[in-house]
Amino acid sequence: MAKRISKKSQVLEQILQELIEKKSKDLSFDNDLVKTISGTTFKNQFDVTKLDNSSKLPPLLKEMDYYVIHLGSGRHRFVKGIKNGYHFFEEIPSKNIKNWEYRKSILNETDTSEASILSLVHNQRILHDFLYEDITANPKLYISKRTKTTFSYKINNSDVTVSNLQIEKDMIVENNGIVTILEGKNKIPPDFAVYQLFHPFKYYSKLREEKNLPIKEINTAYLLRYFENGNTVIRFYLYTFKDEDKPSSITLIKAAQYNLLKR
């Protein structure tokens, strides 16, 4: 039996087909067009453009090698080169897999929100061990926040400008001038949309320049949580962007897996 195409996939495919038929110069579209095509059948029509891993890309986009970028103010664009928009999680070598004994606190694992992952790795000093190799480190913590920003970057050597783009930062920590932006997920997807890390990376890069902040380094981290044999497993990946203007320059710094064992 052929896999059923979801309504959201059909909406994106129809938008792409219409733009191609009209020979649109840059295949841009906005939320008004999403609303027109989708009608009123979705609780949140604009989730149509939120594709946080490549498995959510509609078949037509995969076939034609297109993915969606966000331009701000409800505007989006189809661009070529899925490999530039998504990054596969690297294999974690066995030497970087460790058992981590901990005493489960009252509220640990009482919910499966993304915020709870970040709270867990902070409270159990996993974050300190992974980022700083020092469980006595005392990083400053900044909780989840949404903000809007404007900046430019490059895709396939073409300039892209985003304006009034809303970005969400799950959590930020700063220690000795090193700023780390953290993203957490309660699942193990094969890859992730690079913009999830690149947009907040660009935000802090721009902030450092505009405010002349003494930030020595900006990096980004992705955390994945899942359960195995009744125990919590955390995978921790630390990335940077070699070229601050190119999301495709994402580079792994290090990765580790923590198997949490209750004492």
C-alpha span between 95 and 97 (Å, rounded)? 6
Whether residue 72 sits in one domain with residue 147: no
Share of the chain above pLDDT 70, in %: 94
pTM of the model: 0.92
**Is residue 2 over pLDDT 50?**
no
Whether residue 20 sits in one domain with residue 117: no
C-alpha span between 62 and 59 (Å, rounded)? 5
Domain boundary among 19, 48, 80: 80
Whether residue 157 sits in one domain with residue 50: no
Whether residue 151 sits in one domain with residue 44: no
Whether residue 94 sits in one domain with residue 66: no
- 135 lies in some domain: yes
Residue 104 has a pLDDT of: 77
* Domain carrying residue 224: 88-262
Pick from 220, 224, 212, 213: which is nearest to 247 by CA?
220
Domain count across the chain: 2
Within 8 A by CB and 6+ apart from 140, the residues are 173, 174, 175
C-alpha span between 59 and 100 (Å, rounded)? 41
Whether residue 225 sits in one domain with residue 167: yes
The vertex-75 CA angle with 211 and 6, nearest 5°, equals: 125
**Is residue 187 over pLDDT 90?**
no
Q: What is the pLDDT of residues 246-260, one digit of tens each?
A: 999 999 999 999 999
Whether residue 242 sits in one domain with residue 217: yes
Whether residue 97 sits in one domain with residue 68: no
- 2 lies in some domain: no
Q: What is the pLDDT of residues 74-120, one digit of tens each?
A: 999 999 999 999 999 999 999 999 999 987 777 776 676 777 889 99
Q: What is the pLDDT of residues 204-235, one digit of tens each?
A: 999 999 999 999 999 999 999 998 888 899 99
